[in-house]
Amino acid sequence: MILTTPSQRRDLLAKTATIAMVGASNDPLRPSYTVFSYLRTQTPYVVTPINPTLAEIDGVAAFPSLQAYAAARGAPDLVDVFRRPSELVAIVREAIAIEAAAIWFQYGVINDEAIALADGAGMSVVVDRCIKVEQARFRGGLSTSGLNSGLITSRRRAV
Beta bridge partners of 42: none
Position 147 scores a pLDDT of 57
- Whole-angstrom distance, CA of residue 132 vs CA of residue 126: 13
- Looking at the whole model, is its pTM more than 0.75? yes
List per-residue pLDDT tens for the chain, 159 residues long.
999 999 999 999 999 999 999 999 999 999 999 999 999 998 999 999 999 999 999 999 999 999 999 999 999 999 999 999 999 999 999 999 999 999 999 999 999 999 999 999 999 999 999 999 898 888 876 655 555 555 555 666 566
Q: Is the dihedral of CA 65, 106, 89, 84 positive or negative?
A: negative
Are the C-beta atoms of 79 and 100 separated by less than 8 Å? yes
Backbone angles phi, psi at 151, to 5 degrees: -130, 125
Position 159 scores a pLDDT of 61
Position 21 scores a pLDDT of 98
Position 153 scores a pLDDT of 58
Position 138 scores a pLDDT of 85
Position 30 scores a pLDDT of 93
Backbone angles phi, psi at 55, to 5 degrees: -90, -30
Backbone angles phi, psi at 76, to 5 degrees: -75, 160
Position 154 scores a pLDDT of 64
Position 52 scores a pLDDT of 96
The alpha-carbon radius of gyration of the chain (Å, integer) is: 16
Position 49 scores a pLDDT of 98
